[in-house]
Amino acid sequence: MRTAEIKRRFLAHFETHGHTVVPSAPLPAVDDPNLLFVAAGMVQFVPYFLGHRTPPYRTATSVQKCIRTPDIDEVGKTSRHGTFFQMNGNFSFGDYFKEGAIKLAWELSTTSPAEGGYGLDPERIWATVYLDDDEAYDLWLRTGVPVERIVRRGRSDNFWSMGIPGPAGPCSELYYDRGPGYGAPGGPEVDEDRYLEFWNLVFMQNEIADVASKEDFRIVGELPAKNIDTGMGLERMASILQGVDNLYEIDEVRPILARAAELTGKQYGARSGPAASQSHPDDVRLRVVADHVRTALMLIGDGVTPSNEGRGYVLRRIVRRAIRSMRLLGWHDTALPELLPVARDCMAPSYPELATDFDRIASSAYGEEETFLGTLRAGTTILDTAIAETKQAGRSALSGAQAFQLHDTYGFPIDLTLEIADEQGLDVDADGFRALMAEQRARAKADAKARKTGHADLSAYRAVLDGHGPTDWLAHETLETASKVLAIWAGGVPAGHAGAGDIVTVALDRTPFYAESGGQDSDAGMLTGSSLHAEVVDVQRPVEGLVAHTVRILDGGLAVGDTVHAAVDPDWRTGARQAHSGTHVVHAALRQVLGPTALQSGSYNRPGYLRLDFAWRGGLSDATRSEVEEAANLAIRRDLPVGVRHLPLEQARVEGALALFGETYDETVRVVEIGGDWSRELCGGTHVDRSAQIGSLALTSESSVGAGQRRVEAVTGIEAFRYLARERDLVGRLAAQLKARPADLPDRVTAMMARMKQVEREAHDLRDRIVDLDATDFATHAVDLGGTAYVGVTTTGDGRRLAEKVRDRLGNRPGVVGVIAGAGIVVTVTPAGLERGLSAADLIKHLLAGRGGGSAALAQGKATGDPAELLTRLRDLTSGS
């Protein structure tokens, strides 16, 4: 049974039993500050389990895309570890509980394929329950699972949580016995390769806090309602139903592995049996390639782009591990153009958008591979230099610090450092490298722990929402409202009133203020009353449906129950509307000029200013940038109508409305159109009525924000006028200073730069001739110290250059040259001097009490004290040598 069919049957089974089918949330966990990625099927339902939001359905089912990276080093080594996976889930929010969950799971697992089930043999299914969960134990007995196949297990195995404060509860896991070829008998406690877990039924009834580990936490109470959260690993079920050894061999992964094996000439699985948890290194690498290429496809598909931090860093590491594994397998050409299309064909039956969006995905992935190949070339050059210096210094190993710098600063893999060093006959201080890596991980863990504060206590906001209903949000209809103060919070704590000088958060029954979202900054304005003047400095939605205003009270006081006049600053809103509509215009202009793959991946706008990130490889030429700017301003000049429609999400997508990657949308969405289908996007922001109201638009910069990602910035309205006025004034001043017409400035500046370069070359040549003359003169007057020529001088120029030239002028004579330039001293020794046993490094260490360093031929350090005295001491040291 193909994986896509397993997914379809799961959703159909629960939909038949009254569950609402909920689409997968995007992989980036945009609504949870504790998570980079969605790591479990229940993540998007957490607010319902906690009672922060009221679920729109009593029961739900989904197939959630997930990413887990803590075990990334185990990928490929066992049948259980994968970076990207899909979690089939069914959820109950205060509806059915343990009995219903167990019944539904058993029916789907054991019903024959002809009747819509999976057809698993009931005699091969084992169940585990939490130690004291007698209810679940009895339910499995009544279902027909015999006592000998029901196992009680402790917290580490059968009490589920996300590893952070939040919802949790005992669970019951289902295992399938794959037979004696996979391991020893005795159940999952004996062998979890033979007995493969495929479904976890979590009985969500507790909230936990003070989480120190998977087993060390405090249960703080019961959740508002008993809930069900189950997760069936789609890949694990596929491996069972397709009769393959592990998740790397199912229909969505094996073709990628096979193509990698074909390219590298390796034969997968030739050296290990099906029960082996460890396999030949080539097999492990092929699995890593298959897993990581598929993971990269899914991450980029959901809008993640490679970068050096956060989600982008995880993607970058995954892509580079795949490329590195292909290199270790013997493939040194670009790999992703050969592998990514195979991954697309594997996953498109379940996710058709991967096929339609593939040009964008491929552009980002291929750009990252090119970047990494450049990193390998640069890193190899740096490593070659480090190896040469190590050998010259007579050491047998690269330091851990050098290996760590290559890894941490340049992204150069440690295993490649080890490989190249070994080829050159050198060791690497692996212990030193590991110590530095451990320090880095400790810092990262401490940082993560500092951020892992659990879900914020939103109960006070929720209480206001439950007591008064959602805020009557009128940002699209008006700039002013008469509003009632529902609540005040000071420092997050409810307060009855606030006075002059206080900064507090205020909830109103209705508001005209736009709350920050969709890349648009929040509105500014005032709350006023009979004696109140309060400045609104920020507007947010702490819980869905409630708008919270951060205000600074300038005069008077504010109390719960007061009626206030809420007014948005009209100039602020005008600028905000111009900037947000300008963002849509720039996006459409980019797609018009560059093509449909130039899709927005992020944006921010505030009055008069916008920035937009989009998928594109390589910088825009001046001509292209001007073309984009002109296309945007032509659209503004055409005075296109700006319209808003509310449509079902699927209809909006069919009509070509563009959505921001990584965002989640309700079933009914707001579609903003500029000129009909010229620009059609899902958007909740405030906009102008016609494009000419944007005024004018000027692109101010274009830059890179990561491999395959560019950023444009622009100004609109009065800010665009001011920007262009400043540019005009600057051109005018330059023209006046250069006594040229504005149109002639480029040629005039080019000519001046050419002349400056010529003058610099002439000055450089003159300095070279002067140094040559000085070097010859100094060498001619060298002091003979018992057969060793000595020169000691000071200079205001380049000390090292002069020292080397004097040394060269000494010819085949044994000699020592010391040059002091500013705060530094350089000591060189001629080749004949080296043969005599002279060493610049030894001389400078004696001269500077161990503070200098270098090679036997050239060493340098900080010149402290009187220069004449220092050179006299160097002469004495040379004479003594």
Q: Which residues are annotated as a binding site for Zn(2+)?
A: 580, 584, 683, 687
Angle between helices 414-423 and 358-392 in degrees, nearest 10:
40
Question: CA 353, 359, 364, 369 torsion: positive or negative?
Answer: positive
Angle between helices 358-392 and 336-347 in degrees, nearest 10:
140
| Cβ neighbourhood burial of 509 (10 Å; 0-12, 13-18, 19+) | middle
Alpha-carbon gap, residue 87 to 74, rounded angstroms: 20
**Would you give the end-to-end CA distance of the chain in angstroms?**
84
Residue of 694, 476, 658, 711 lying closest to 581 (CA atoms): 694
Q: For residue 718, count other CB atoms closer than 10 A to its CB.
A: 16
Amino acid making up residue 808: D
CB 47 within 8 A of CB 542: no
Alpha-carbon gap, residue 360 to 613, rounded angstroms: 13
Specify binding-site residues: 580, 584, 683, 687
Q: For 582-597, b where at least 16 C-beta lie within 10 A, e where not — what string?
A: bbbbbbbbbbbbbeeb
Alpha-carbon gap, residue 754 to 760, rounded angstroms: 10
CB 185 within 8 A of CB 221: no
Residue of 243, 254, 174, 237 lying closest to 8 (CA atoms): 237
DSSP 8-state class, residue 733: H
Alpha helices, H only, 302-357: 310-328, 336-347, 353-356
Q: Give Dmax over CA atoms of the chain in angstroms.
A: 107
**β-bridge mates for residue 45, sequence order:** none
Task: Say how far residue 146 (Cα) sits from the centre of its chain.
Answer: 48
DSSP 8-state class, residue 70: T
**Rounded-to-10 torsion of CA 634, 635, 639, 641:** 170
Amino acid making up residue 542: P
Alpha-carbon gap, residue 505 to 498, rounded angstroms: 10
DSSP 8-state class, residue 855: -
- Angle (nearest 5°) at CA 78 between 74 and 82: 60
Amino acid making up residue 846: H
DSSP output for 654-703: HTT-B--TT----SEEEEEEETGGGEEEE--S---SBGGGG--EEEEEEE
Alpha-carbon gap, residue 87 to 377, rounded angstroms: 40
Residue of 362, 361, 405 lying closest to 383 (CA atoms): 405
Residue of 87, 93, 101 lying closest to 129 (CA atoms): 101
Phi, psi of 302 (to 5 degrees): -95, 15
Residue of 233, 242, 341, 243 lying closest to 296 (CA atoms): 341
